[in-house]
Structure 1
Amino acid sequence: MTGKAPTLRYERSFLAEGHRFLAGCDEVGRGALAGPVTVGLVVVDLTTVKGLRGVRDSKLLSAPDREALVPKIQRWAASYGVGHATAAEIDATGLMAALRAAGNRAWSQVIREVRPDAVILDGNHNWLAPVSQGSLFGDAETSSEVSCDAPVHTRIKADLQCLSVAAASVLAKVERDRLMIDFAQDYPGYGWDVNKGYATSAHRAAIDGLGPCVEHRRTWRLGTAIAGPGVAAGDIGR
């Protein structure tokens, strides 16, 4: 395990604003060529929550360590949820809309137990909140889905600094990895049990040889010729 442990310092600052239940939110799968984008939400009760040893941003943990943390995080949280948006949804609506759909699917799970007063979202762009206006061609998302109605506070490197966000990243990563391992049984040859759908050279070469399958993001450039959109060095493994 590496990296300084995240704390609840930033989360506890929300007590001064009268907030009790605070959700940490993070995504995984943004930079993959195949499979869903997945969003985790972990809610803490600021009046009672204690620290949780061993939790880090999911990128800093081994797969066995992440797996071992899942039941601990689930017991520790006041509520939690993990939502997905498929490769087909990413192709149909775009990445940001797919992230919003996945996040709000996680939100719908969370509010069965408790409704957060606010959300801390990793990064600098609020993709979780509903769009204020539909696009010229209409909103591709279904209006029947529950949407996050709490204030969303973006924070760069929240997954490294905020314990609730790091915990959310672990839940999201473990669940998405399990999905990709299952998909690898149905679509052998792409190495998803190892690369989890990310843009490794072996994965791109396999796409060249086999062609894309239904779980690939067809609107992305997938083969070895040109790197796909949105795949930066920092995204590999997210």
Structure 2
Amino acid sequence: MGNAAAELRPRPTFELEAAELQLHGGPVAGVDEAGRGPLAGPVVAAAVILDPERIPDGINDSKVLDEEAREFLYVRIRATAIIGVGIADVKRIDELNILHATMWAMAQAVAQLPQTPKLVAIDGNRAPQLDCPSRTLVKGDARCLSIAAASIIAKVTRDRLMVQLAASHPGYGFERHKGYGTAEHHGAIKRLGVTVHHRRSFRAVQLALGLITEDEEVV
């Protein structure tokens, strides 16, 4: 189901969640995002509360799982866990900037949970403003099982959205590169131009639109 890299790396554990449950009770939610780096499409965040009695086998950082494994685990996690999803569209990304749009999507994901967590464990070193305690974990998707589960939900959700965009915008290859700045994507932008789904606050898109030159900085 996974690839060789997934087998070699240390796997995330449920230790943080178990300790928090023992000390304070109540649910622990893991939060992660997908899509901060692409030139097109939304940024998606997910919040996941795993059921300690029904944790699917094989959960890992989405980056070390292949597409088949992610899709399989996505279904298993959806069937056994409590999930919230937040999606910041391109308009919000361009208005707020990608960092603040990501924080907004994370807060939305937590707000979509049907119960308030006692603790939210967030991948990275920045946390959004929440109505409950939070803790940031650098490389949390490789350390914390709930964050790893959230990374899978966010990644699969976003990938599916990009496949839908590919159907309405043929020729860009969204179904393959998912909006990231690959050679194929840059070539498509040169041939076909910039769509409404491209992030105009990103330097590569501004260059394509002629809004800046190579030696100018994006403000």
TM-score by length of 2: 0.86
Shift, 1:50, TM fit: 5.2
Match of 1:74 in 2: 78
Q: Secondary structure at the match of 2:57?
A: coil
Q: Secondary structure at the match of 1:82?
A: strand
User: What's 1:24 paired with?
Assistant: 30
Structure 1 residue aligned with 2:88, among 77, 85, 88? 85
Identity across the alignment (%):
40
Measured after TM superposition, the shift of residue 54 of structure 1 is: 0.9
1:165 to 147, 171, 181: 147
The reply on whether 1:44 has 2:47 as its aligned counterpart is no
- Name the residue aligned to 1:198: 180
Kindly state the Cα deviation for residue 71 of structure 1 after the two structures are TM-superposed.
Answer: 2.1
The one-letter amino acid paired with 1:76 is: T
Instruction: Provide the secondary structure at the position in 2 that maps to 1:222.
Output: helix
Higher helix proportion: 2
Moved over 4 A (4+): 223-226
Q: In the alignment, what sits opposite 2:202?
A: 220
Structure 2, unpaired ranges of 5+:
none
Q: How far apart are residue 189 of structure 1 and its match? A: 1.6
Alignment partner for residue 54 of structure 1, among 54, 58, 74? 58
Q: What is the rounded CA distance, in whole Å, between the counterparts of 1:193 and 1:96 in structure 2? A: 24
Which residue is equivalent to 1:232?
A: none
Partner of 1:116 in structure 2? 117
Cα drift, residue 96 of structure 1: 2.1
Residue 61 of structure 1: how far off its partner (Å):
0.9
**1:207–1:222 Cα contact (<8 Å) kept:** no
User: 1:207 Cα shift?
Assistant: 1.2
Aligned to 1:175: 157
Structure 1 residue 73, shift from structure 2 partner: 0.8
In 2, the alpha carbon distance for the partners of 1:4 and 1:222 equals 35
Count matched residues.
Answer: 204
CA distance in 2, matches of 1:106, 1:15: 21
Q: Do residues 184 (structure 1) and 166 (structure 2) align?
A: yes
Deviations 1:58-103 (A, max 9, x none): 11111111111112112332x1111110111100111122112212
1:209: Cα distance to partner? 2.1
- Whole-angstrom distance in 2 between the partners of 1:107 and 1:51: 20
Larger relative contact order (CA 8 Å, sep ≥ 6): 1
- Aligned-pair CA distance for 1:4: 2.9
* Aligned 8 A contact 2:55 2:80 in 1: no
Q: CA RMSD in A?
A: 2.0
What CA distance in whole angstroms lies between the structure 2 residues aligned with 1:71 and 1:185?
Answer: 23
8 Å CA contact 1:19, 1:118 repeated in 2: no
1:95-106 pair list within 5 angstroms: 95-106=98-109
* Conservation of the 8 A alpha-carbon contact between 2:62 and 2:151: yes
Confirm or deny: 8 A CA contact 2:26 2:118 kept in the other structure.
yes
Alpha-carbon distance in 1 for matches of 2:50, 2:117: 9
State the 1:13 CA deviation. 2.0
User: Which SS does the other structure have where 1:81 is aligned?
Assistant: strand
| Conserved? CA contact 1:8–1:51, under 8 Å | no
Distance 2:204 2:173 in 1: 14
